Amino acid sequence: MAKRYNIGIVGTGAVGSEMLRVLRQRNFPCSEIRFMARSARREEIAGENVEVVETTSAAFEGLDFAFFAGTEGEKGASQLFGWEAVKRGVTVIDNGDDFRMDPRVPLVIPEINPEALENHQGLIANPNCSTIIALMAVGPLHRAAGLRRMVAATYQAVSGSGAAAVRELEQQLESYGSDSAPPPSVYPYPILLNLLPQIGGPKPELPGYTTEEAKMLFETRKILGNDAIRVSATCVRVAVFNGHAEVLNLELEKPLSADEARAILAKAPGVRVVDDLAAGQYPMPRDASGTDTCLVGRIREDASVDNGLSLFVCGDNIRKGAALNAVQIAETLIARQ
């Protein structure tokens, strides 16, 4: 019989719930799925009534894989328990940002840099959702022509801020046009009919940039294995429930026509080209939401820079941008055994 694995999921929010769905949908060979959180309880997660145990070092005993979930991981959980779990023989896959730039920790998108998993030390990091969605398209083009520079503008859904942000947008929609709109609490300003060009706080090492924007720079360099790549990102929160969109302007080492780029992306795993401007076909968050693939379109040559390409990418930030990518990392590790 094929080996089956004991799985732990730390965090019961949107990403933890989606991890359970993904594990079930992909028929991951689980013998146990153990949920952990700050307190023990019974809870309905992804339609299943499950027992949640308190997160302690001992709670990781007997597990093969532990996924640290949450929108950005249960903040601090992987710092407290990540390496403790590794000491107990558990392979940790962390959706948070605590260890992404740690030189001991691979930062992995399985379709882009699976080789980074070689000789891992037991803890592997999931990249930020915006980085994953961008590099699903950029990675294949980088392999073909080399990426020098990327200018990114993101349009990020409120689900990236968690369930409370989704409820806040719902409340603003329900009360629109009335005097009963509650004051915003998750965001500093109303998100309905608005754009908020700040995600995260200031990044001291990059004056004028936010922490979310800095992730796109440093994570892109680490994943693609080139510290010379230049990235300038502007990350914007938009009134969309789920699914991030990104405008990417690329400067490549070698020329690559739009047709060549389409052909490369049409063969790229996890990518679907939706690119017929005349027919009104292009990526949209509502089409990417709930799917495993990243949609790429509006592919065109950019004459404003040598070897320039522009494209528009959409992906499900909770699924491929978090839960699915983590499960795929585990699947890749199992396949390599």
Nearest one of 114, 93, 82 to 330, comparing CA atoms: 93
CATH number for the 5-127+322-335 domain, one of 3.40.1280.10, 3.10.20.30, 3.40.50.720, 3.40.50.10470?
Answer: 3.40.50.720
Residue 114 confidence (pLDDT): 98
Residue 181 confidence (pLDDT): 81
Kindly give, in sequence order, each residue whose CB lies less than 8 Å from that of residue 140, ignoring residues fewer than 6 positions away. Answer: 264, 265, 267, 268, 271
Phi, psi of 165 (to 5 degrees): -70, -35
Give dist(CA 198, CA 151) in Å, integer.
16
Say if 5-127+322-335 and 131-317 have the same CATH topology.
no
Residue 72 confidence (pLDDT): 43
Residue 6 confidence (pLDDT): 98
Domain boundaries, the chain: 5-127+322-335, 131-317
Catalytic member of 235, 244, 294, 314 = 244
Residue 180 confidence (pLDDT): 85
Listing from the earlier edge strand, what are the strands of the sheet with 5-10?
41-45, 48-54, 30-37, 5-10, 65-68, 91-94, 123-125
Residue 294 confidence (pLDDT): 98
Q: Is 314 a catalytic residue?
A: no
The CATH number given to 131-317 is 3.30.360.10
Task: Give me the residues of the chain with pLDDT under 50, please.
Answer: 72-74
Q: Is 129 a catalytic residue?
A: yes
292-333 pLDDT, tens digit each: 999 999 999 999 999 999 999 999 999 999 999 999 999 999
Residue 66 confidence (pLDDT): 98
Residue 73 confidence (pLDDT): 43
Predicted TM-score (pTM) of the model is 0.96
Residues in the chain: 337
Catalytic member of 129, 235, 294, 314 = 129
DSSP conformational letter for 313: E
Give dist(CA 118, CA 92) in Å, integer.
15
